[in-house]
């Protein structure tokens, strides 16, 4: 059987009407055997707030009420099936209990357990919506198969074990019914709940598709595909019909929120094509991400990633010496910091770090301990409130005139850092957060809306 994995993001499962629309998309394709859902829109943000330290009891009660109200509205429209109602009651009291416990003791494992509850609710509710429409469907706890390491907040899936567990526990269920399961969450070898980082449901879908050797992954969201830039930023952004894995991966890495950055990896490993479309307007079609595409333009898209931190390290040790970078990167690796961009000079090295994708609870990865460790062998300066704007395309590093066109647009802005050349697919500039939207709009206008 050719299996399709379909993932529905937060807005697609925001309420009963949205879920019902998604159910129709699923029913239209008998090959869609696995449905991966995110938490209903807003729920993960409310759960993140519940994990925060200084939370007074009044606010906690408000947050619990808001979550309950989102989920019970869906349940009510379903006619309150007893089994799902009991499940939901269980999850909601668990949320209250976990947030209580976090107010006494900060524990990363408890935070992940709490954050995972949004997906639990939507999977139970969504399976019930499918059943209401006469489909054979059950909710399946993805923690049985999504084995990860124990890096709470940003856990790494253990690919081989996920494949083995899926073959044993998930594949046999698919012939008889459609399975609805949770995105974003997993479990470590001890059975503790983990999360894959914010936006991780796309990644979950791709991982399950890889494990089950699916023929396609569908990412159903609130836009009709991948656009030449975020359509919320530039109203003239154009949908892209077909895009290569390389280009899509660069876009996701550099902030096109429509895809979680790791989504493409499993798809590339198994050569699974990925579709991105709007669950509200499926008839508008969307974007196919494929291994090979017919058109590979120089300029494909402009992406922006906010909340960037620039780390500037200065050390005379760097002068005609070896090992400084190795030492620096070893320190960063020990603190599980992944570096994005890097530029060096004689005695300085500048690195950018991504705060947004840091971990599911939004914890800042640049800890005091790390800064102290780095300060032992260099002078450290940290700059915040920066945004990374990336021009994504093909043959960027080998096409004359690209820089002129880009820098023409950047003329009125202060560019804090530039990276180009490592990949043929991007040119990145770091600018002040406050100027990012204008930079994106101007670049989009010049590269996509004018004559090429």
Residues that bind Mg ion (CB under 5 A): 9, 199
Give the footprint of ligand ADP on residues 231-290 (CB under 6 A). Answer: 231-232, 256-258
The distance of closest approach from Cβ of residue 361 to ligand ASP in the complex, given in angstroms and rounded to an integer, is: 11
The distance of closest approach from Cβ of residue 199 to ligand ADP in the complex, given in angstroms and rounded to an integer, is: 5
**Residue 245's closest CA among 197, 300, 181, 190?**
300
The distance of closest approach from Cβ of residue 93 to ligand ADP in the complex, given in angstroms and rounded to an integer, is: 26
Instruction: Please tell me what DSSP assigns to residue 167.
Output: I
Annotate 1-27 with b (16+ C-beta within 10 A) or e (fewer): eebbbbbbbbbbbbebebbbbbbebbe
Binding part of the chain for ligand ADP, among 6-14, 19-27, 343-351, 430-438 by CB under 6 A, reads 6-14
Q: Give the one residue of 153, 199, 255, 393 binding ligand ASP; rule: CB under 6 A.
A: 199
**Residue 34's closest CA among 135, 185, 180?**
180
End-to-end Cα, the chain, rounded Å:
45
Partner from ligand ASP, ligand ADP, Mg ion, none contacting 301, C-beta within 5 to 8 A by type: ligand ADP
**Residue 161's closest CA among 179, 143, 140?**
143
Q: Give the one residue of 201, 278, 279, 350 binding ligand ASP; rule: CB under 6 A.
A: 201
415-418, long-range: CB within 8 Å, 24+ apart, which pairs? Answer: 416/310, 416/383, 416/386, 417/310, 417/341, 417/343, 417/350, 417/352, 418/343
Partner from ligand ASP, ligand ADP, Mg ion, none contacting 44, C-beta within 5 to 8 A by type: ligand ASP
The distance of closest approach from Cβ of residue 41 to ligand ASP in the complex, given in angstroms and rounded to an integer, is: 9
Per-residue tokens: 47: 């759960």
One character per residue 31-50, x = contact with ligand ADP (rule: CB under 6 A): -------x------------
Residues 6+ apart with CB under 8 A from 89: none
**Residue 174's closest CA among 134, 141, 120, 136?**
136
Tokens 């044993």 sit at which residue?
168
The reply on whether position 11 binds ligand ADP by CB under 6 A is yes
The distance of closest approach from Cβ of residue 200 to ligand ASP in the complex, given in angstroms and rounded to an integer, is: 5
Partner from ligand ASP, Mg ion, ligand ADP, none contacting 207, C-beta within 5 to 8 A by type: none
The distance of closest approach from Cβ of residue 348 to ligand ASP in the complex, given in angstroms and rounded to an integer, is: 35
Give the footprint of ligand ADP on residues 210-229 (CB under 6 A). Answer: 221-223, 226-227, 229
What is d(CA 184, CA 195) in angstroms, rounded to the nearest whole number?
6
Give the footprint of ligand ASP on residues 88-147 (CB under 6 A). Answer: 118
The distance of closest approach from Cβ of residue 192 to Mg ion in the complex, given in angstroms and rounded to an integer, is: 24
Tokens 């950047």 sit at which residue?
410
**Residue 359's closest CA among 44, 38, 43?**
44
* Residue nearer to ligand ASP on the CB measure, 204 or 350: 204
Helix, strand, coil share of the chain (percent; to 5): 40, 25, 35
* Residue nearer to Mg ion on the CB measure, 225 or 393: 225
The reply on whether position 186 binds ligand ASP by CB under 6 A is no
Partner from ligand ASP, ligand ADP, Mg ion, none contacting 286, C-beta within 5 to 8 A by type: none
* Residue nearer to ligand ADP on the CB measure, 182 or 315: 182
The distance of closest approach from Cβ of residue 430 to Mg ion in the complex, given in angstroms and rounded to an integer, is: 24
Burial of 119: CB neighbours in 10 Å, binned 0-12, 13-18, 19+: buried
Residues 6+ apart with CB under 8 A from 167: 211
Q: What is the DSSP string of 70-109?
A: HHHHHHHHTT--HHHHHHHHHHHHHHHHHHHHHHH---HH
Cα 361 versus chain centre, distance: 13
What is d(CA 7, CA 182) in angstroms, rounded to the nearest whole number?
9
Measured from each CB, the residue nearest to ligand ADP is 9
Number of residues that bind ligand ADP (CB under 6 A): 19
Binding part of the chain for ligand ASP, among 37-45, 95-103, 240-248, 431-439 by CB under 6 A, reads 37-45
One character per residue 291-310, x = contact with ligand ADP (rule: CB under 6 A): ----------x---------
Instruction: Please tell me what DSSP assigns to residue 319.
Output: T
What is d(CA 285, CA 288) in angstroms, rounded to the nearest whole number?
9
Contact 13, 122 (CB under 8 A): yes
Per-residue tokens: 101: 């416990």
* Residue nearer to ligand ASP on the CB measure, 118 or 393: 118
The reply on whether position 10 binds ligand ASP by CB under 6 A is yes
Give the footprint of ligand ASP on residues 263-322 (CB under 6 A). Answer: none
Number of residues that bind ligand ASP (CB under 6 A): 12
Which residues of this protein are in contact with ligand ASP, per CB under 6 A?
9-10, 38-39, 44, 118, 183-184, 198-201
Residues making contact with ligand ADP (CB under 6 A): 9-12, 38, 199, 221-223, 226-227, 229-232, 256-258, 301
């Amino acid at each position: 059987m050719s299996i399709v994995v379909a993932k529905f993001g937060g807005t697609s499962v925001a309420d009963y009407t949205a879920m019902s629309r998604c159910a129709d998309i699923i029913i239209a394709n008998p090959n869609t055997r696995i449905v991966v859902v995110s938490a209903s829109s807003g729920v993960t943000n409310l759960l993140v707030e519940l994990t925060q330290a200084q939370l007074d009891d009044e606010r906690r009660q408000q947050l619990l009420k808001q979550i309950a109200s989102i989920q019970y509205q869906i349940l009510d429209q379903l006619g309150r099936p007893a089994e799902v109602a009991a499940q939901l009651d269980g999850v909601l009291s668990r949320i209250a209990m976990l947030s209580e416990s976090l107010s006494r003791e900060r524990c990363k494992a408890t935070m992940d357990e709490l954050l995972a509850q949004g997906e639990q609710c939507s999977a139970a509710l969504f399976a019930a919506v499918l059943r209401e429409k006469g489909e054979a469907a059950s909710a399946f706890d993805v923690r049985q198969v999504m084995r990860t390491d124990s890096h709470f907040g940003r856990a790494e899936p253990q690919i081989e074990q996920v494949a083995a567990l899926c073959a044993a526990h998930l594949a046999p269920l698919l012939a008889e019914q459609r399975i609805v399961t949770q995105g974003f969450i997993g479990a470590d070898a001890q059975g503790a709940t983990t999360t894959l980082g914010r936006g991780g449901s796309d990644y979950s879908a791709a991982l399950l598709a890889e494990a089950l050797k699916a023929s396609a992954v569908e990412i159903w969201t609130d836009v009709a595909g991948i656009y030449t830039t975020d359509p919320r930023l530039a109203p003239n952004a154009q949908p892209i019909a077909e895009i290569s894995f390389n280009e899509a991966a660069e876009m996701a890495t550099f902030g096109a929120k429509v895809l979680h950055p790791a989504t493409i990896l499993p798809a590339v490993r198994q050569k699974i094509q990925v579709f991105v479309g709007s669950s509200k307007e499926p008839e508008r079609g969307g974007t196919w991400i494929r291994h090979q595409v017919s058109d590979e333009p120089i300029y494909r898209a402009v992406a922006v990633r906010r909340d960037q931190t620039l780390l500037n390290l200065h050390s005379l040790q760097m002068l005609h010496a070896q090992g400084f970078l190795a030492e620096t990167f070893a320190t960063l690796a020990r603190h599980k910091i992944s570096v994005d961009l890097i530029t060096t000079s004689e005695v300085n090295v500048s690195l950018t770090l991504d705060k947004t994708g840091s971990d599911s609870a939004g914890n800042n990865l640049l800890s005091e301990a790390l800064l102290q460790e780095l300060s032992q062998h260099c002078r450290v300066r940290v700059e915040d409130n920066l945004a990374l704007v990336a021009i994504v395309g093909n043959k960027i590093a080998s096409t004359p005139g690209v820089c002129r066109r880009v820098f023409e647009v950047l003329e009125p802005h202060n560019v804090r850092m530039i990276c180009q050349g490592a990949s043929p697919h991007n040119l990145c500039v770091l600018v002040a957060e406050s100027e990012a939207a204008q930079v994106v709009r101007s670049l989009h206008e010049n590269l996509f809306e004018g004559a090429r």
